Chains A and B, each alone.
Chain A
Amino acid sequence: MKSLSIYKICIKTAVSQAVAYRFNFFLSLLITFLGSLLLPLVAVLIYGAGASFPGWSFHEVLLIQSLFTVSQAMAKVCLGNVLWDTMIHVREGSFEVVLLKPMEPLAYMIATTFSPDSFGNLLCGLALFGYAAAHAQIVSAAAAIGAGLLLFIAGVAVMAGIQIIMAATSFKWVGNSRLPEIFGSVEAFGQYPIAIFPSAIRAVATFIVPVSLVGFFPAAALLGRAEPEAFWGAGLSLLFLGFGVWLYQHMIRRYKGAGG
């Protein structure tokens, strides 16, 4: 409860700070909104050229990419700055400031790094989802919607896990600002129908770094095409998030405060 009330205060503060520089905030919203359109732009141009992903209509691909964008945006809003703040603290040797707080360090970092700048990604993802859902043949059965929702939550857990693992890695790999690129490149496998990739990549993207849960499997469930391995992957997504939390706490114990 205490953590939640602190989190609420931190969100209010972050939003107040952001809107204090209104022009900058709205420009950021616009840029992140437009930036999120780059992913579906490729699909638009592919389908516009008369080609397609085998077995997937344009709106179905858009459904995958919109769900991916929403999950990614939620993780960015809530956890996106944990990496950067952790990285700065570790490089400057000032993480002790966090450790001295009467709160679990990761919870404190999450609460104090709420990022309204990524609202644009979220708005864009939701708008794309609305458009795609209205045009794709979504199954209206409760089971399909329930499965889609369950897998979507699992996808958000995967994205949250990735953010926390990146932040944990910054304890060891001091000051490497290219960490998001490494994980971002792996995330790209979750932005398209998984069937287009070879079986080895499919296995990795489902069971090891389950990025296929972020967009593909929830969309497939909503379209009535859920596959059994999706639900195995959903279970693994919680383990993945748990691993991220464990790794962050483990790295805190190895933190020496020497800077770098």
Chain B
Amino acid sequence: MIYAVAVATFKEWSVYRTHTFVSVFVGPVYFAVQYFIWTAVYGSRPELAGMALDQLIRYFAATALIGYLTMDFADWNLSMLIRTGKFLTFALRPIHHRFFALSQKLGHRVLGFALEFIPCLLIFHFLFGVDMRPANLPWTFLSVALAFSINFHFNYIIGMASFWVVRTEGIRNVVSLIAKVFSGALIPLAFFPEWLRMVQFFLPFQYTVYVPAMVFTGSFTPWLVGYQAVAALVMYLVSELVYRRAMRRFCDVGM
């Protein structure tokens, strides 16, 4: 089942491959901006906020690449299905919709791997001369897989808000804004004040970008990946809990 849905999604999005391929321009351009900004900011400083320049450059390259592997819009998709009443067709199927959505995401990201991840990896490595070899491949793989799971389940929970409120654009925009700041995609969390980093420890955002990127650069302890695993488990359990509650009130009126 997972294979069939993933392949169907892969084929569907392959039709719009230039849509995905835009990343090959956008990713390196944003990376170039970061590259020059931070090179200028570091000047002759050996390190800032405990990070050396080459580590920071690798961090930004890693965040871009990890983003291509974990990118998700399950919230938008689920909201659309609920709002239009199309969710009923999934509620009637003998398969959990979350599993179906996860299979779709896998197919979509396999395409992202081919059209976004690989070309950008080559650009970062050969054009910008960034060492894109992970410090520890098994830990990086595990951390990215956990980030993938956390990102998907978190977005799925946000999408389920549509079972209670009709328009979720506002909620999704607020969450997206918070995630952008606290995930570490904008700037490594090492630059944030200590108290804010403590707060972020209890939020899921840093486990989707900052932690896997730090694991990639080699600045991690296995405990950090352990916390990430706990966050992934919590996100899964919360999504299941919310889903069960949502199914009790689902009436499929749509609008």
Of all chain A residues, the one with the shortest Cβ separation from B39 is: A196
A31-B170, A181-B26, A185-B29 known; A42 vs B186 contact (CB < 8 Å): yes
Tally of contacts, chain A with chain B, CB under 8 A = 80
Binds B, one of A51-59, A137-145, A217-225, A234-242: A51-59
Q: How far is the CB of A57 from chain B (nearest CB, A)?
A: 14
Give the chain B neighbours of A35 by CB distance below 8 A.
177
Whether A201 and B36, one on each chain, are in contact in the complex, defined by CB atoms closer than 8 angstroms, is yes
For B186, list chain A residues within 8 Å (CB): 38, 41-42
Residues in B with CB closer than 8 Å to A201 are 32, 36
A52 touches B41 (CB 8 A): yes
Residue A186, interface by CB 8 Å = yes
Contact indicator A46/B191 (Cβ below 8 Å) = yes
Offer 17 A-B interface pairs, CB within 8 angstroms, sorted by A: A24-B169, A24-B170, A31-B173, A31-B174, A35-B177, A41-B186, A46-B191, A49-B48, A51-B41, A51-B42, A53-B40, A54-B40, A182-B25, A184-B26, A185-B25, A185-B26, A189-B33
One digit per residue, 1 when the CB lies within 8 angstroms of any chain A CB and 0 when it does not, for chain B 5-34 equals 000000000000011001001100110110
B191 lies within 8 A of A49 (CB): yes
How many Å from the CB of A178 to the closest CB on chain B? Answer: 4
List residues of chain B with CB within 8 A of the CB of A31: 170, 173-174, 177
Measured between beta carbons, the chain B residues less than 8 angstroms from A41 are 181, 186-187
Is A188 an interface position by the 8 A CB rule?
yes
B94 within 8 A of A: no
Q: Once the chains bind, are A188 and B29 in contact (CB under 8 Å)?
A: yes
Check if A9 is an interface residue, CB within 8 A of chain B: no
Judged by a CB distance under 8 angstroms, whether B129 is at the interface is: no
Q: Is A45 an interface residue (CB 8 A)?
A: yes
Taking Cβ atoms with an 8 Å cutoff, the residues of A that contact B are: 24, 27-28, 31, 34-35, 38, 41-42, 45-46, 48-54, 173, 176-178, 181-182, 184-186, 188-189, 192-193, 196-198, 201
Which residues does chain A contribute within 8 Å of B22, judged by CB atoms?
Answer: 176, 178, 181-182
Say yes or no for B37: interface residue by CB 8 A criterion. yes
B177/A34 in contact, CB under 8 A: yes
**Also in contact, A176 and B170, with CB within 8 A (given A31-B177, A185-B25, A188-B29):** no
- Which residues in A have their C-beta under 8 angstroms from that of B192? 45
Nearest CB of chain A from residue B127's CB, rounded to whole Å: 13
**Which of A177, A188, A193 has a CB less than 8 Å from the CB of B33?**
A188
Residue of A nearest to B190 (CB): A49
Residues 35-49 of B, flagged 1 when their CB comes within 8 A of A and 0 if not, give 011011111010011
Complex CA gap A189/B33 in Å reads 6
Q: A24-B170, A196-B39 are in contact. List 17 more A-B contacts (CB 8 A).
A: A27-B170, A27-B174, A31-B177, A38-B180, A42-B187, A45-B191, A50-B48, A51-B41, A51-B45, A52-B41, A178-B19, A185-B30, A186-B29, A188-B30, A193-B40, A196-B40, A198-B36
Interface size in chain B (residues, C-beta < 8 A): 32
Give min CB distance, A110 to chain B, whole Å.
24
**Inside 8 A of B169's CB, which chain A residues have their CB?**
24
B residues in contact with A182, CB < 8 Å: 22, 25-26
Q: Which A residues are CB-close (under 8 A) to B36?
A: 196-198, 201
Chain A hits for B180, CB < 8 A: 38
Rounded to whole angstroms, the CA-CA distance of A27 and B192 in the bound complex is 26
User: Within the assembled complex, what's the spacing in Å between the Cα atoms of A96 and B180?
Assistant: 40
Bound-state CA distance A253–B29 (Å) is: 32
- In the bound assembly, the distance between CA atoms of A188 and B36 in angstroms comes to 12
Closest to A192 in B: B37
Q: Is B244's beta carbon under 8 Å from chain A?
A: no
Give chain A residues whose Cβ lies under 8 Å from the Cβ of B48: 49-51
**Contacts of B18 on A, CB cut-off 8 Å?**
173, 176
Q: How many angstroms between the C-alpha atoms of A193 and B18 in the bound complex?
A: 33
Residue of B nearest to A173 (CB): B18
Question: Which residues of the other chain, B, contact A53 by a CB distance below 8 angstroms?
Answer: 37, 40-41
Please name all residues of chain B whose beta carbon is closer than 8 Å to the beta carbon of A196 when the two chains form the complex: 36-37, 39-40
**Taking the complex as formed, is B133 at the interface, i.e. its CB lies under 8 A from any CB of chain A?**
no
Looking across the interface, which residue of chain B has its beta carbon closest to that of A39? B186
Q: How far is the CB of B32 from chain A (nearest CB, A)?
A: 8
Say yes or no: B26 contacts A178, CB within 8 Å.
Answer: yes
